[in-house]
């Protein structure tokens, strides 16, 4: 029985730092190396977390030492790189949003089954211990009937960061959508609004609110903004709140912080912890232990359905849009 899983990163940009910190903190995993088409990025990541620089994804895939690939590139490359990795017999940890369409997610599912390998969406927020505890409290009924869920995200992104990313709906509300699914199940209908404060980013929403009507009377409220930080005394940087008829849960990334200007939330240990727990689950529970991932491609498909319904609601401005799930 293997006792160490050897991984390689494709893409060595912002999120690779968090994957590197995760790899360093988790037992039974070693970073063999990284490939980025910007070689300097791969140099930086391997100098920080070990391993060598690969010259291409193909070189990673033909390296028998590599057991698993973390796909950490922008969304346009996710599906082709994940499929190539699965076909080469590697397990895949695939950054969010895993894909832009349901067809692509179906392809990922069938390729993973065909290869007999794990393709786990990197839905890191649900791996945070506080979110896992919230789910246990909901599932065991300790909170009573759930009345509301609030997931709030306020992290200012510079013009440069905004130019690199999509709007908050796909970029951030993906986290919110898979979190709602994890905590409360599938919303029936959603209503959404979005806005942009900086004109040059017109076409990309800088902030958005999605209100989800759940099956059993609960309402989930999903807020996301790149427009402003929350500098107040009780900051809502990233907050989860669940209120039930018998109790509640509150969780905030602000509970511990240190100075690290390297990237958004890099100085928030709660954020880093979500990657550590996610990677530990992927490596030790799934690849070595044979368990199923906590985050699945089915969740990714359902999260995409929620976002498509939100986009439909924003486009029509006046609708409560039904969520159409892809079976």
Ligand X SMILES: NC(=O)c1ccc[n+]([C@@H]2O[C@H](COP(=O)([O-])OP(=O)(O)OC[C@H]3O[C@@H](n4cnc5c(N)ncnc54)[C@H](O)[C@@H]3O)[C@@H](O)[C@H]2O)c1
Smallest gap from residue 263 Cβ to ligand X (A): 8
| Distant-in-sequence, close-in-space partners of 139: CB < 8 Å, separation ≥ 6 | none
Pairing of strands 189-195, 52-53: unpaired
Smallest gap from residue 245 Cβ to ligand X (A): 32
Smallest gap from residue 13 Cβ to ligand X (A): 2
The SS3 of residue 159 is helix
Helical axes 14-25 vs 39-49, angle rounded to 10°: 20
Pair of tokens at residue 285: 């529970």
Residue 196 and residue 202 in contact, taking contact as beta carbons nearer than 8 Å: yes
Residues near ligand X, by CB under 6 A? 10-16, 35-38, 41, 72-75, 77, 95-96, 122, 124, 164, 171
Cβ distance to ligand X smaller for residue 125 or 236: 125
Smallest gap from residue 124 Cβ to ligand X (A): 5
What's the first-to-final CA gap in the chain, in angstroms? 36
Q: Annotate 274-313 with b (16+ C-beta within 10 A) or e (fewer).
A: bbbbbbbbbbbebbbeeeebbbbbebbbbbbbbbbbbbbb
Cβ distance to ligand X smaller for residue 73 or 191: 73
Give the integer Cα–Cα distance in Å for 64 and 300: 29
The SS3 of residue 152 is strand
H/E run at residue 316: helix 297-316
H/E run at residue 58: helix 57-61
Smallest gap from residue 242 Cβ to ligand X (A): 21
Cβ distance to ligand X smaller for residue 24 or 148: 24
Cβ distance to ligand X smaller for residue 211 or 275: 275
Residue 127 and residue 277 in contact, taking contact as beta carbons nearer than 8 Å: yes
Cβ distance to ligand X smaller for residue 191 or 271: 271
Smallest gap from residue 12 Cβ to ligand X (A): 5
Cβ distance to ligand X smaller for residue 77 or 188: 77
Q: Which residues, in sequence order, are bridge partners of residue 238?
A: 153
- By beta carbon distance, the residue nearest ligand X is 13
Cβ distance to ligand X smaller for residue 160 or 316: 160
Smallest gap from residue 57 Cβ to ligand X (A): 6
């Amino acid at each position: 029985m293997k006792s160490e899983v050897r991984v390689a990163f494709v893409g060595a940009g912002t999120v690779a730092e968090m994957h590197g910190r995760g790899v360093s903190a988790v037992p039974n995993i070693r970073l063999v190396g990284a490939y980025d088409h910007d070689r300097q990025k791969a140099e930086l990541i391997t100098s920080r977390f070990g391993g060598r620089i690969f010259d291409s994804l193909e070189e990673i895939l033909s390296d028998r030492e590599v057991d698993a690939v973390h796909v950490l590139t922008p969304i346009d490359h996710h599906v082709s790189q994940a499929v190539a990795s699965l076909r080469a017999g590697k397990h895949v940890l695939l950054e969010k949003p895993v894909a832009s369409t349901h067809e692509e997610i179906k392809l990922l599912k069938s390729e993973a089954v065909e290869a007999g390998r794990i393709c786990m969406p990197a839905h890191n927020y649900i791996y945070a211990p506080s979110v896992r505890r919230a789910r246990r409290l909901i599932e065991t009924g300790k909170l009573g009937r759930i009345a509301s869920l609030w997931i709030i995200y306020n992290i200012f992104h510079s013009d440069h960061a905004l130019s690199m990313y999509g709007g908050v709906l796909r970029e951030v509300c993906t986290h919110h959508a898979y979190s709602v699914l994890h905590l409360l199940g599938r919303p029936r209908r959603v209503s959404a609004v979005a806005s942009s404060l900086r004109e040059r980013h017109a076409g990309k929403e800088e902030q958005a609110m999605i209100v989800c009507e759940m099956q059993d009377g609960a309402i989930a409220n999903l807020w996301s903004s790149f427009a402003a930080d929350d500098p107040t005394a009780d900051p809502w940087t990233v907050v989860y709140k669940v209120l039930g008829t018998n109790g509640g849960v509150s969780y905030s990334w602000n509970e511990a912080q240190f100075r690290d200007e390297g990237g958004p939330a890099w100085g928030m240990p709660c954020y880093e912890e979500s990657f550590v727990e996610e990677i530990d689950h992927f490596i030790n529970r799934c690849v070595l232990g044979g368990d199923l991932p906590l985050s699945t491609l089915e969740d990714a498909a359902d999260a995409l359905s929620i976002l498509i319904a939100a986009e439909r609601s924003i486009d029509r401005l006046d609708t409560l849009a039904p969520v159409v799930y892809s079976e």
